Every structure is written in C-alpha cells, then in structure tokens.
C-alpha cells in the first residue's frame, strides 16, 4: 500500500465527478484496498452505485440522507448534512480505510451546509495513509490549494441542454 495518501478533488460544472471517484474506488478495491464512499446531500438509493454495492459489496457506500434532496427544505438538508459530516470526520481520522471518498461534499460547501473551514479541517486531519477524495461543484480556492490533485470537469456539451433528461445507468 501507499506510504502516504494524497488528497484529490474532482470539481467543475461538467459531468463525471462522482463517476471518476467511483472508478477510483473500483481500482483501489481491485488492488485489495479498503474503500468507503460517503455521500453528502444525495438522498436517492435507487441509483446504479447503490444497487451495485448492495449486490456485490465491493466497498461501503454510506448515505445518511433518508429523503429526496430535490424536495427537502434547507433545514432538512442541514440536519442530514451535519450527521454526514460528523460521520465523515470520524471516518477520515480513523485510518480504517485506504480510500475515503466524500461525494458531493463540495456541493454542501457551496450551499453553505458545510463551511470551507470544516472541509479544510477534515482534509488536514485525515489519517496519513488514507487517500481522500472530495467531489462536487464549486471547490473553493483554499480547498484547491490544499489538495494534491485537482481535476476540473468542464461542461462543453450535455444532452440536458437538448432536453434529454437523466438516463438510468448513465446519470444515475
């Protein structure tokens, strides 16, 4: 295994941030590493990654939001985000996982549900050997500076622009 885990950020307005993180999770599991994905904001367990994990159990996938994030009030989102952040804080420092993915934490930051300072503190407290991945639109300048690797997904063209809605197995 690695001597030192790095911090990766997948951000930007383009599609593929979660998909890239899940690809890294599968690659890590294939090399015998222990992985956990913690999803912020999201509240839909019918998407493909949840079904895949329920069937094959390649890694842990944790989503503490029981509702539909698209219709939840800000207060409902704040409540579940606080619980998710507390769980993530314990997980990141534990050293129990080789890879910890905080999916959509950057959206939580951009919505003001998690402060940039809380995210930075989390980044600074990760266990030495843990690879930490943060995904979502709107990474702050400070988060980008603290990360070791930053990839920005750029939206050049998307079927949504033509009125094509999310497709099962592709967008969810």
- Whether residue 169 lies inside any domain: the answer is no
Q: pLDDT at residue 118 above 90?
A: yes
Within a domain: 50: yes
Q: What is the pTM of this model?
A: 0.93
Report yes or no on 1 lying in a domain.
no
- Asked whether residue 144 is domain-assigned, the answer is yes
Q: E strands along 3-129, which residues?
A: 7-11, 35-39, 60-63, 99-103
Percent of the chain with pLDDT over 90: 80
Q: What is the pLDDT of residues 4-19, one digit of tens each?
A: 999 999 999 999 999 9
101-110, 129-138, 161-170: which range is least confident on average? 161-170
- 24 domain residue, yes or no: yes
- Structural domain total, the chain: 1
pLDDT tier, 158 (very low <50, low <70, confident <90, very high otherwise): confident
Dump pLDDT digits (tens) for 36-70: 999 999 887 788 999 999 999 999 999 999 888 87
pLDDT at 2: 56
Q: Report the chain's mean pLDDT, rounded to a whole number.
A: 94
Which CATH number does the domain housing residue 18 bear? 3.40.50.300
Q: Percent of the chain beyond pLDDT 70? A: 99
Mean pLDDT across the stretch 11-32? 97
62 located within any domain: yes
Question: Quick one: the chain helix, strand, coil %, rounded to 5?
Answer: 40, 15, 45
Domain of residue 124: give its range.
7-29+39-106+115-131+139-162
């Amino acid at each position: 295994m690695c001597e030192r885990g790095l911090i990766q950020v997948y951000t930007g307005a383009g599609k593929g941030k979660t998909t890239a993180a899940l690809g890294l999770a599968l690659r890590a599991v294939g090399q015998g590493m222990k992985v956990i994905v913690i999803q912020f904001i999201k509240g839909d367990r019918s998407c493909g990654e949840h079904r895949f994990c329920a069937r094959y159990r390649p890694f842990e996938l944790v989503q503490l939001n029981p509702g539909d994030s698209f219709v939840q009030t800000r207060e409902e989102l704040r409540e579940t985000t606080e619980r998710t952040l507390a769980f993530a804080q314990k997980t990141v420092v534990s050293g129990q996982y080789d890879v910890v993915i905080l999916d959509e934490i950057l959206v939580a930051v951009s919505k003001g549900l998690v402060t940039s300072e809380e995210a930075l503190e989390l980044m600074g407290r990760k266990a030495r050997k843990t690879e930490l991945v943060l995904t979502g639109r709107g990474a702050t300048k400070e988060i980008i500076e603290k990360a070791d690797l930053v990839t920005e997904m750029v939206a050049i063209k998307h079927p949504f622009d033509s009125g094509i809605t999310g497709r099962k197995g592709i967008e969810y």
